[in-house]
């Protein structure tokens, strides 16, 4: 930053209001309390702040790669992050807020054991819930967990009060537990090697706190509350804790100033993580097989209707194919799971199977339409001239031949589906790829989990391509 006169800071616009987001009235302009903090910091340091958009779940890897100097986006102070990064003094105090459906008796962490509770991936809340042995459902955006809570897909949502206040507590039918279930702080993440920058950032933050500038920013965003009194504490705040003692007091707790971040011991994949990988692979296989079992017959039906149906049904089948091929499957999954949740209430797995199945049916329809068109016209005429009905001609003469023609494309599509099934993590299904990213973040290593994940995909898809070769040969020599 010294050479360029720029202070690069990374955050995810998807995190939304009030953190860092695009102004609804001025597209392209980025606003939020963290934007103002970044700019205030840059002013204190005599440089310009430069924003870098970065997917939140990859914020730390990108920081480590050197994409920017500061990770400034609701980053919670945790032991793991202290071990990995240089963390600034806190700029915000948050409370873990439990949202439940109105009438629910849940109101403490201990009660969440075994319950299905939603939160965001890679948060302190996730760790707290896992420590309580709750069934954790992970989301990527902050609106979806509350939607699912309303729909009864989870029993509670544990998230920072900033998110809960804005996205959850005010929802009809939901209420939030009054007292914080735990408390923690947002800090700025920096590379361990940037010792000098860290010192200057801490000094600048201190000046912002003492001058009241930070308070002014937080008040501007209606974020200033009693919790923020802890910010002016000279000493670092305690780590979030599940013990009841750490939750109640608002008073600063003194703790030793952490020295330079210790180099953590290299972790390896544990037996339990390995088991979870297998579980993820099974989910991937289950979803893919079921989705394809839906896509194949539906695709054949669509193809038959398109090539042999009446005018109206042909138009409908064509519309189906164009709609599902012409829009992203990710969008379709969102619409199916969140958008239509008031009409059809589907579990994540059912929605994943249905969404992928309906989408792939459109592709299978095209494959089969092409295969049917590739058959010589005389096949259908010869069969008709022998007295077979239209349905019998299709069933006994055309489809058996077109399926053989389509076979290589079908196998290809199934392998593609196997990999596309990783998209269903957006509707909270933890399949193979999602498991890989979770483990990679835990281990701070993308190589070993990545190779393991790739190996499992390969183990699933390779036998398939062998099977397809064998089938092709069998049909040719039969």
Partner 1 sequence: MIRIAGLHKAFAGGPVLAGIDATVAEGKIVALLGASGSGKSTLLRCLNGLETFDAGTLEIAGFSLKPGAHDARTLHALRAKVGMVFQEFHLFSHLSVLDNITLAPRIARGAARAPAEAHARELLAQVGLGERAHAMPRELSGGQKQRVAIARALAQGVSVLLLDEPTSALDPDLREEVREVLRKVARGAHGASGPGLTILLVTHEHALARELADEIWTLAAGKITGISRPA
Residue nearer to partner 1 on the CB measure, 260 or 387: 387
Q: Is 222 in the site for partner 1 (CB under 8 A)?
A: no
CA distances from 125 to 109, 132, 161, 426 (A): 10, 11, 11, 19
Long-range Cβ contact pairs of 273-278 (< 8 A, separation 24 or more): 273/439, 273/442, 273/443, 274/452, 276/435, 276/439, 277/432, 277/435, 277/436, 277/439, 277/449, 277/452, 277/453, 277/456, 278/456
Stretch that binds partner 1, among 180-188, 195-203, 312-320, 400-408 (CB under 8 A): 400-408
Instruction: List the one residue from 99, 174, 346, 397 that touches partner 1 (CB under 8 A).
Output: 397
Q: Which is nearer to partner 1, 279 or 379 (CB)?
A: 379
The smaller minimum CB distance to partner 1, of residues 226 and 478, is found at 478
391 or 454: CB nearest partner 1? 391
Q: Least distance to partner 1 from the beta carbon of 474, Å?
A: 12
Cβ neighbours, 10 Å, residue 126: 20
Shortest CB 383 distance to partner 1, Å: 7
Q: How far is the CB of 59 from partner 1 (least distance, A)?
A: 56
The distance of closest approach from Cβ of residue 399 to partner 1 in the complex, given in angstroms and rounded to an integer, is 10
Q: Which residues touch 27 (CB under 8 Å, ≥6 apart)?
A: none
Cβ 15 to partner 1, closest distance in Å? 57
Give 25 or 385: the residue with its C-beta nearer to partner 1: 385
| Residue among 79 and 400 whose Cβ is closer to partner 1 | 400
Q: Which two three-digit tokens encode residue 138?
A: 């992970």
Nearest CA among 53, 88, 92, 70 for reference residue 8: 70
Token pair listed for 288: 């893919």
DSSP 76: B
Nearer of residues 323 and 374 to partner 1, judged by Cβ: 374
Nearer to partner 1, 103 or 378 (CB): 378
- 3-class secondary-structure state, position 221: coil
Length of the chain: 478
Window 1 to 60, contacts with partner 1 (CB under 8 A): none
**106 CB burial (10 A radius; 0-12, 13-18, 19+):** middle
Between 303 and 332, how does the x/- string for binding to partner 1 read (CB under 8 A)?
------------------------------
Q: Which of residues 154 and 393 has its CB atom nearest to partner 1 in the complex?
A: 393
Shortest distance, CB of residue 376 to partner 1, whole angstroms? 7
Shortest Cβ 311–partner 1 spacing (Å)? 15
Tokens of 126: 């996730």
Contact letters for partner 1, residues 238-277 (x by CB under 8 A):
----------------------------------------
Question: In sequence order, what E strands does 57-188 have?
Answer: 70-71, 86-87, 92-101, 116-120, 135-139, 156-160, 174-176, 182-186
Least distance between partner 1 and beta carbon 305 (Å): 19
- Taking the complex as a whole, how short is the minimal distance between the CB of residue 117 and partner 1, in angstroms? 55
Pick 60 or 397: Cβ nearer partner 1: 397
Comparison of 62 and 384: residue with beta carbon closer to partner 1: 384
Scanning 10-18, 128-136, 230-238, 396-404 for contacts with partner 1 by CB under 8 A, the matching segment is 396-404
Is 404 among the residues that bind partner 1 (CB under 8 A)?
yes
* Shortest Cβ 385–partner 1 spacing (Å): 4
Could you tell me the smallest distance in angstroms from the CB atom of residue 318 to partner 1? 24
Which residues 365-394 are close enough to bind partner 1 by CB under 8 A?
Answer: 376, 378-379, 381-390, 392
| Nearest distance in Å: CB 374, partner 1 | 12
Strands (E), 46-163: 48-53, 70-71, 86-87, 92-101, 116-120, 135-139, 156-160
Question: What is the rounded distance in angstroms from the CA atom of residue 418 to the CA atom of residue 5?
Answer: 47
Give yes or no for a contact between 98 and 168, defined as CB atoms under 8 angstroms apart. no
Residue closest to 95 by CA, chosen among 255, 254, 246: 246
Residue in this structure with the two tokens 């204190």, named with its chain if needed:
44
| Residue 197 CB neighbours (<10 A) | 20
Specify burial of residue 186 (Cβ count, 10 A radius: 0-12, 13-18, 19+).
Answer: buried
Of 401, 412, 461, 465, which lies in the binding site for partner 1, with binding defined by CB under 8 A?
401
The residue (of 234 and 377) whose beta carbon lies closer to partner 1 is: 377
Q: Total residues at the site for partner 1 (CB under 8 A)?
A: 21
The two three-digit tokens of residue 8, written as one number: 């690069």
Footprint of partner 1 (CB under 8 A) = 376, 378-379, 381-390, 392, 396-397, 400-401, 404, 475, 478
């Amino acid at each position: 930053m010294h050479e360029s006169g720029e202070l690069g800071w990374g955050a995810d616009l998807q995190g939304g209001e009030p953190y860092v987001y695009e102004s609804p009235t001025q597209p392209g302009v980025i606003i939020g309390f963290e934007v103002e903090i970044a700019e205030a910091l840059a002013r204190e340091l005599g440089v310009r702040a430069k924003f870098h958009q970065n997917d939140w779940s990859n914020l730390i890897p990108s920081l480590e790669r050197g994409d920017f100097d500061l990770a400034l986006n609701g980053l919670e102070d945790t032991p793991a992050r202290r071990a990995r990064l240089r963390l600034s003094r806190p700029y915000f105090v948050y409370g873990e807020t439990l949202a439940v459906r109105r009438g629910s008796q849940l109101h403490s962490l201990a009660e969440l054991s075994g319950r299905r509770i939603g939160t965001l991936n890679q948060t302190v809340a996730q760790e707290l819930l896992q420590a309580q042995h709750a069934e954790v459902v992970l989301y990527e955006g902050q609106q979806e967990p509350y939607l699912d809570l309303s729909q009864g897909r989870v029993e509670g949502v544990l998230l920072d009060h900033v998110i809960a206040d804005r996205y959850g507590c005010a929802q009809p039918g939901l209420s939030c537990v009054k007292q914080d279930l735990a408390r923690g702080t947002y800090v700025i993440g920096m590379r361990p090697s940037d010792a000098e920058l860290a010192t200057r950032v801490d000094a600048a933050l201190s000046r912002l706190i003492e001058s009241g500038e930070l308070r002014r920013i937080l008040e501007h965003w209606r974020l200033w509350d009693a919790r923020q009194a802890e910010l002016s504490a000279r000493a670092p705040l305690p780590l979030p804790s599940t013990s009841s003692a750490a939750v109640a007091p608002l008073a600063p707790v003194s703790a030793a100033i952490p020295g330079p971040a210790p180099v953590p011991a290299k972790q390896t994949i544990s037996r339990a993580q390995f088991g979870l990988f297998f579980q993820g692979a099974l989910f991937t296989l289950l979803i893919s097989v079921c989705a394809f079992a839906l896509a194949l017959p539906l695709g054949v039906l669509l193809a038959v209707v398109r090539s042999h149906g009446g005018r109206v049904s042909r138009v409908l089948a064509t519309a189906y194919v164009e709609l599902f091929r012409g829009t992203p499957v990710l969008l379709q999954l969102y619409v199916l799971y969140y958008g239509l949740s008031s009409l059809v209430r589907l579990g994540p797995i059912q929605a994943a199977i249905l969404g992928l199945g309906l989408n792939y049916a459109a592709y299978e329809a095209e494959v089969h339409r092409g295969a049917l068109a590739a058959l010589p016209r005389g096949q259908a005429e010869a069969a008709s001239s022998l007295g077979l009905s239209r349905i019998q001609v299709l069933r006994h003469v055309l489809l058996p031949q077109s399926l053989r023609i389509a076979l290589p494309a079908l196998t290809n599509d199934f392998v593609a589906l196997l990999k596309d099934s990783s998209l269903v993590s957006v509707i909270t299904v933890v399949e193979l790829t999602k498991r890989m990213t979770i483990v990679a973040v835990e281990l701070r290593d993308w190589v070993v989990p990545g190779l393991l994940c790739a190996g499992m995909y390969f183990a699933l898809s390779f036998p398939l391509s062998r099977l397809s070769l064998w089938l092709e040969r069998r049909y040719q020599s039969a």
